[in-house]
Amino acid sequence: MRAEKWDAELYDAKHAFVWEKAKGLLELLAAKAGERILDLGCGTGSLTAEIAASGAEVVGVDRSPEMIAEAGKKFPALRFDVSDARALPFSHEFDAVFSNAALHWIPEAERVVAGVARALRAGGRFVAEFGGKGNIGSVVAALETALTRLGISPDDANPWFNPSIADYASLLEKHGIEVREAVLFERPTKLEDGERGLATWITMFGASFLDRVPEPERPQFLQEVELAARPALWKTDHWVLDYRRLRIAAWKCAS
């Protein structure tokens, strides 16, 4: 899922919070031994391995070959496939589809939901968490301000899909998946690396903004982002981003 090309090493080294904060989501999934579970947007596989530890049979998929290669190296006993969430190849075969921190990268949400509905057996569940409405609003505003200060248009640079509960629940129900739990909550997220943390985060996740800036101007761009973001997001000696999560538990209807 996510962007086209990923730095799997930087992801593991500096952004472990992506899976470390998912404990509650794993509890909501409550995987059982013998179940077949699809981990959609598995990244480097850390949560896939935690699900497998329950005794479930897990398949991890991600659109990024770099992430899948790293996942395979870390967890050679598990199955990982490169697969695009917009065109999932599975049919009525999983007891659950799980997804953490991936679906906000995919604006073609209806294609994803249709694929999830197809992948689940009747009565199977979809347990997912991703960026919800208003997610990282201050970061997006700072990125757009910084582009504008450099004379570059910010139009359509924002790659993220952050729906409301109502919009996403409607989409799921349209595809025969009944929402039983949905919550939108603030999850302030502390970055590693002190002063450099925001620039590191943008290097990892902000390619669609960074790519608009000519290489020699990128240090200035990052400084402009920091300047614009500082009043909202700098806390004494580290950055705290204004993440908002949408957490969903939903069941595929029997008929």
CB-side neighbour CA atoms (13 Å) of 8: 18
160 scored as a contact of ligand BEZ (CB under 6 A): yes
CB nearer ligand BEZ, residue 56 or residue 102: 102
Contact between 138 and 242 (Cβ < 8 Å):
yes
Q: Residue 181 to residues 29, 57, 221: CA-CA distances in angstroms?
A: 12, 25, 40
Asked whether position 131 contacts ligand BEZ by CB under 6 A, the answer is yes
Q: Which is nearer to ligand BEZ, 156 or 180 (CB)?
A: 156
Count of residues that bind ligand BEZ according to CB under 6 A: 8
Q: Which is nearer to ligand BEZ, 94 or 205 (CB)?
A: 205
Contacting ligand BEZ (CB under 6 A), which of 115, 135, 200, 247? 135
Q: How many CB atoms lie within 10 A of CB 60?
A: 30
Residue 74 in 3-state DSSP? helix
**Residues numbered 210-239 forming contacts with ligand BEZ, rule: CB under 6 A:** none
Alpha carbons 85 and 176: distance in angstroms, whole number: 18
Smallest distance from the beta carbon of 139 to ligand BEZ, in angstroms? 8
Is 17 an interacting residue with respect to ligand BEZ (CB under 6 A)? no
| Residue from 136, 169, 222, 248 in contact with ligand BEZ (CB under 6 A) | 136
**What b/e string do you get for 210-226 counting C-beta neighbours within 10 Å, with b at 16 or more?**
bebbeeeebeebbebbb
Least distance (Å) from ligand BEZ to the CB of residue 154? 16
Q: Which of 11, 94, 98, 205 binds ligand BEZ (CB under 6 A)?
A: 205
Structure tokens at 12: 């593991």
Q: What is the nearest approach in angstroms of ligand BEZ to the Cβ of residue 77?
A: 28
Q: Minimum Å distance from CB 205 to ligand BEZ?
A: 4
- Bridge-based pairing of strands 189-190 and 238-241 is antiparallel
What are 166-171's contacts with CB under 8 Å, separation 24+?
Answer: 168/109, 168/132, 168/246, 168/248, 169/248, 169/250, 171/109, 171/110, 171/113
The identity of residue 121, as a single letter, is R
**Considering only CA atoms, which of 133, 124, 162, 159 is closest in space to residue 144?**
159
Quick one: which of 243, 247, 248, 249 contacts ligand BEZ (CB under 6 A)? Answer: 243
Spatial CB neighbours of 236, under 8 Å, sequence gap ≥ 6: none
- Sole window of 47-55, 131-139, 173-181, 224-232 interacting with ligand BEZ (rule: CB under 6 A): 131-139
Give the residue, chosen from 40, 101, 143, 198, that forms a contact with ligand BEZ under the rule CB under 6 A.
101
Which of 37, 46, 48, 104 touches ligand BEZ (CB under 6 A)?
Answer: 104
Q: Does 247 bind ligand BEZ (CB under 6 A)?
A: no
Cβ-closest position to ligand BEZ: 131
Positions touching ligand BEZ (CB under 6 A) are: 101, 104, 131, 135-136, 160, 205, 243
